Amino acid sequence: MIKGINHIGMAVKSIDETLGLLSGIFGAKEIGRKAFPDIGQTSCLVVIGDSKYELMEPLGSEGIVPKFLAKNGEGFHHISLVSNDLDADCANLESHGVKIIARAGTTAFTHPKTTGGIVYEIEEIKG
């Protein structure tokens, strides 16, 4: 069952520049950063008040983030939702015509053409 929003994902050219901007304007604080060479990006989790954001920076020219930036520029990429049962939630989404475009481990992504123009990341978090 979907429990709520985990974070908002943003594609950016530079995590450091965007974090500096968000920190100065909104008081954003970095809570974690990790490189994911297999998908060609670095992700940085930040908090602004009670909300979490994922800043995604490309590691090179291959992967989802550089393709997104080339097509759309910097900005909103996805909404991450918390699930306590990813298999059941994916089955429910698919029964409603939602296309799952990627799935790895405890995470799945929806196709925006089947979810009102928005990419949803469904992330299983137990407890």
Q: Is the pTM of this model over 0.85?
A: yes
Give 26-68 pLDDT, tens digit per residue: 999 999 999 999 889 999 999 999 999 999 999 999 999 999 9
Cross-strand pairs, 8: 53, 79
Closest CA to 124 of 83, 87, 91, 81: 83
d(CA 46, CA 23): 9
Q: What residue ranges do the domains of the chain occupy?
A: 2-124
Give 65-92 pLDDT, tens digit per residue: 999 999 999 999 999 999 999 999 999 9
Out of 3.40.50.720, 3.90.420.10, 3.90.1150.10, 3.10.180.10, select the CATH number for domain 2-124.
Answer: 3.10.180.10
